[in-house]
Structure 1
Amino acid sequence: MPTSKYSVICSAFLFLFTFLVFLTEAAPIYNYHVCTDSITYKKNSTFEANLNLLLSSLSSKASLGNGFYRTRTGTDTPNVVNGLFLCRGDIASAACHDCVAAAAKEILRRCYVKKESIIWYDRCLLRYSYQPLNNIVPGVDLRNDKNISRSELNRFNELLAGMLNSLATKAANSQDKKFATGELNLTSTETLYGLVQCTPDLEFFDCNMCFRSAIAYIPNCCDGKQGARVLLPGCIIRYELYPFYNNTIAATAPPAIEPRPSGRSRFSVILAFIIPIGGSVLLFVMGFCSFKGRPATSMIKLKENEFN
């Protein structure tokens, strides 16, 4: 009898432990946020009511399985709120909903009474604004502290640039998710994994320019790092030396949108990143001009010691 009692207790403990581990692994992982404008709204105002309505709508739409939704609330210009969410293309609708719901709650806490904000999680991003959504700034980069060996750095950078540019072209040409992943064997024991995605409402040119801008970040922010991600309002890119995405990507319905070789010189390796961006310099100049006068914290770089 005692053995039976201990057996029941152990079984219950194991079940509880497994359940808690599952919850921990499934919990949305916060990456970063930016309150992109200093303008604030008043508590209990019409704008706040419209913002709450927008965030509630985004959360409810996240369970539909499209992975993306863009909409607006309000009719009078001072109180209109534009917003969207984007879930990573390799996650299920339940995980998308959980991520967007967490982001909708957290963005209000981190950007208290701000009229324009964006928040990134590991599996989704969410943003809102009192003005038309702009896809140029701000930008955030997160990188792994582990480095590629100096002897392999040029080759690694060359292969990385080639993979990301190839994935960017593939995703920008996509007709639905504008999402792509890829793997590249570096050695017999090391594999490079990459992921790119932009919001499906962007046309080829805008999506492609966003990707090229993100790729252009890498030599400055993350050179020689074993892993990094660049997060922009319109797109994300990420690479690691371990698998971080779901290899079996299920096709989903189109997103819902409411109207509206090694041995090359260091110089040549950098060109492998820079040349494909074409008009990215012009893009950033335009972005700078349009955001002149905003807080200097609009462009943020963050060093992250450990990736999830």
Structure 2
Amino acid sequence: MSKTPLSFTIFLSLSLFFFPSITASSITDRYLYGGCTQQKYTSNSPYESNLNSMLTSLVNSATYLSYNNFTMVGGSQQDVIYGLYQCRGDLSMPDCATCVARAVTKAGDMCRGSCGGAVQLDGCYVKYDNATFLGVEDKVVVLKQCGPSVGYNPEGMGSRDAVLGGLAGSGGPFREGGSGVVRGVAQCMGDLSYGECQDCLSEAITKLKSDCGTADYGDMFLGKCYARYSIGGAHQASKAHGKSGKGGERTFAMVIGILAGVAILIIFLAFLSKICGRQGK
């Protein structure tokens, strides 16, 4: 049996170390938006204790349910806190749990001391507040993102409109569809009724089509629902939705540097192997 050269073994190990596969969680954990209420709570108060219990419940529940809401009751009305989380409908439970845990951590860091907070990651949403919002419609635009224009293409725009129309006419809180290179997804918060969901998504899709025009992707997030589309995988091509900038350049430079270092190491090991071979003779 032939032995694997040492240089190849080291190169394989370094490759596996420096170039791990891109996991679903690395994509779904991308931060989209968030916010905190202005009202603050007192440190070590019953409200803080309730908040900690709320956040723990959200994380624990996400290991077996893709949506849930909680109400933590305190000794007085001012200590009551409401919260919910929701994962994207196509996420596996392990990815859902990971996403919610990271969203809760993000909200805790960003909204430290605030009575309420909300965080939307690419794969999940978390919100908590001392004012009830459960079962309440909310069609306020909280995030709008449009990609660069690809120019008017009757066929492409027709496919996009057909996909968005299919999402509007589908049932259930999570909807996805596609036609050719166009992909679309929409979702309502789990605390809305079917009629409220339809109303919210109709608003989101109408705004998405009018505001993003001929863009190669679009995101329209309202308070209790969202609609998104992508032409030719535009979302995946730009991790930051068209804002790759210097971060992408730095990543590319890092990869090139790593490859160069590995190549130098291989040459050195090959040279060392020849010297050792000669000395052995």
TM-score range, shorter chain: 0.7 to 0.9
Contact 2:216 2:234 in 1 (8 A): no
Which stretches in structure 2 are left out of the alignment for 5+ residues? 245-281
Greater mean alpha carbon deviation, residues 38-47 or residues 84-93: 38-47
Q: CA deviation at 1:13?
A: 1.2
Q: Distance in 2 between matches of 1:227 and 1:213?
A: 18
Report if the CA contact (8 A) 2:220-2:227 is conserved: yes
Alignment of 1:58-137 (within 5 A): 58-64=58-64, 66-75=65-74, 76-133=76-133, 134-136=136-138
**Cα deviation digits, residues 144-180 of structure 1 (max 9, x gap):** 4320313x26x65555344323212313xx3xxx211
Deviations 1:130-153 (A, max 9, x none): 111143154223424320313x26
Instruction: Give the residue type in structure 2 aligned to 1:12.
Output: S
Partner of 1:181: helix, strand, or coil? strand
**1:213 counterpart residue number:** 203
Q: Which amino acid aligns with 1:122?
A: D
- Counterpart of 1:182 in structure 2 is 177
Does residue 10 of the first structure (1) align with residue 5 of the second (2)?
Answer: no
> How far apart in 2 are the matches of 1:158 and 1:244?
17
Cα separation, 2, equivalents of 1:6 and 1:141: 50
Partner amino acid, structure 1, of 2:70: T
Confirm or deny: 8 A CA contact 1:82 1:128 kept in the other structure: yes
1:52 and 2:52 matched: yes
Structure 1 residue 56 displacement after superposition: 0.9
Number of aligned residue pairs: 236
Q: Are positions 1:241 and 2:231 aligned together?
A: yes
Matches within 5 A, 1:137-156: 138-150=140-152, 152=153
Q: TM-score, normalised on structure 1?
A: 0.68
Given the superposition, is the C-alpha separation of residues 26 and 217 from structure 1 closer, same or farther in structure 2, using an over 3 Å criterion?
Answer: closer
CA gap 1:103/1:218 in 2 versus in 1, 3 angstroms: same
Equivalent residue letter for 1:85: Y
Q: Secondary structure at the match of 1:32?
A: strand
Q: Which secondary structure state, in structure 2, belongs to the residue aligned with residue 131 of structure 1? A: coil
| AA aligned opposite 1:204 | Y
Is contact 1:143-1:225 (8 Å) kept?
Answer: no
The residue number in structure 2 matching 1:25 is: 26
Query: Kindly tell me: are residues 220 and 138 of structure 1, through their superposed partners in 2, closer, same or farther at Cα, counting changes over 3 Å?
Result: same
Amino acid at match of 1:34: G
Distance in 1 separating the partners of 2:219 and 2:24: 25
Report if aligned partners of 1:196, 1:235 keep a CA contact under 8 Å in 2.
Answer: yes
Q: Work out which structure has the larger RCO, using CA pairs closer than 8 Å and 6 or more positions apart in sequence.
A: 1
Q: CA RMSD in A?
A: 2.8
In structure 1, runs of 5+ residues without a counterpart are 186-190, 246-302
Q: Distance in 2 between matches of 1:163 and 1:244?
A: 16
Mapping of 1:269-308 within 5 angstroms?
304-306=241-243
- TM superposition outliers: structure 1 runs of 4+ over 6 Å: none
Amino acid at match of 1:242: G
* Mean CA deviation greater in 17-26 or 201-210: 17-26
Q: 1:221 to 1:112 in 2, by over 3 A?
A: farther
| CA–CA separation in structure 2 for the residues paired with 1:47 and 1:137 | 29
Q: Name the CA distance, whole Å, in 2 between partners of 1:88 and 1:129.
A: 22
The letter of the residue matching 2:116 is E
1:226 equivalenced with 2:216 (yes/no) = yes
